[in-house]
Amino acid sequence: MRLLNIAAGSLLIFALTACSTSPTGRSQFLIVSPESAIQQSRGAYSQAVEAIREEGQIAQDPLLEARIRRIAGRVVTAAVNDFPRSANWDWSVVVVEDDETVNAWCMAGGRMAVYTGLFEQLKLTDAEFAQIMGHEISHALANHTAERMSRAMAIQLGLIAVSAATDGSQSAGQGAELLAQVALELPNSRTAETEADRLGMRLATLAGYDPEAAVTLWQKMSELGEKRPPEFLSTHPAPNDRQARLNAMIPSMRSLNPTGSKLPATEIIIVN
């Protein structure tokens, strides 16, 4: 009973204190702070890179690395201009040699991964790749990592309370840990995806890339998905109206950078 009271009390405290506002002005439920998410992502990134290295999948392609560094670096410059707190992030990217996997991601704190399948399967233009990086970087800027971790922690606390109310068995505790891990790997919410679409399009445009590429990118994603759903789509739900919504944003985005002038590229560490 004491454990149940503690768990219930913790849930109440979190519910009362965990409301926060995202950098884009949206209300967020954050048990895990953005700073904690960055710290925990540092260790997770190291483990992910080590696993990629052990599989011999770190790409060794100087031309591709230069392209990624140039385009992503410009998007990062736009991100730092809009969100100065990210100037001190550890901006880095590991290029994964996997032509079958169409995916990219950015953890809290600016640690990224790009899979060669993006280029092999989609034949990306520079502007389309900029849209991908803008979208992924936006997830980090908008504290979506902390948001997903908070959701997982809330689920875990809820299961602890249920376990304490029943028999408090070890298996229930193990189930809480497992479900929390699953929650961390679930896709972002549709709200978070829409937020990343808009912010990512803005960053790519400010970096100097045509916003229309957001539409052509998702057209390519949809066409590829008809043959074989890419990994990117498994973590980025695409509602039927996504292309229409992106297309409607093009005029306002283009007004941000009418001449398409390119920003200088922030130096990004390529992980080898």
Domain-embedded: residue 157: no
In a domain, 237, yes or no: yes
Q: Is the pLDDT of residue 232 over 90?
A: no
Of the candidates 136, 147, 193, 195, the residue annotated as catalytic is 136
Checking if the pLDDT of 76 tops 60, the result is yes
Instruction: Please indicate, yes or no, if residue 199 is contained in any of the structural domains.
Output: yes
Task: Domain count for the chain, please give it.
Answer: 1
133-160 as b/e, with b when 16 or more CB fall inside 10 Å?
bbbbbbbbbbbbbbbbbbbbbbbbbebb
List the domain range (segments joined by +) for residue 53: 34-144+187-271
Q: Any bridge partners for residue 58, and if so which?
A: 96
| Residue 128 annotated as catalytic | no
- What is the pLDDT, as a whole number, of residue 185? 56
Residue 212 has pLDDT above 90, yes or no: yes
* pLDDT class of 240 with cuts at 50, 70, 90: low
**Residue at 252 is within a domain:** yes
The stretch 237-244 carries a mean pLDDT of 68
How far is residue 215 CA from its own chain's centroid?
19
Cα(75)–Cα(264) distance, integer angstroms: 9
Is there a domain that residue 223 lies in?
A: yes
pLDDT-derived band at 54, boundaries 50, 70, 90: very high
Asked whether residue 130 carries a pLDDT value surpassing 90, the answer given is yes
pLDDT range class, residue 182, cuts 50, 70, 90:
very low
What is the per-residue pLDDT across 134-149, written as a single tens digit (0 to 9) for each? 999 999 998 877 777 7
* Domain assignment of residue 172, yes or no: no
pLDDT at 58 over 90: yes
> Locate tokens 């679409």: which residue?
197
Contact 96, 112 (CB under 8 A): no
Q: Is the pLDDT of residue 239 over 90?
A: no
**What is the rounded average pLDDT for all residues in the chain?**
81
Mean pLDDT of 254-268: 97
Q: How many angstroms separate the CA atoms of 65 and 60, rounded?
A: 8
Structural tokens at position 245: 């919504």
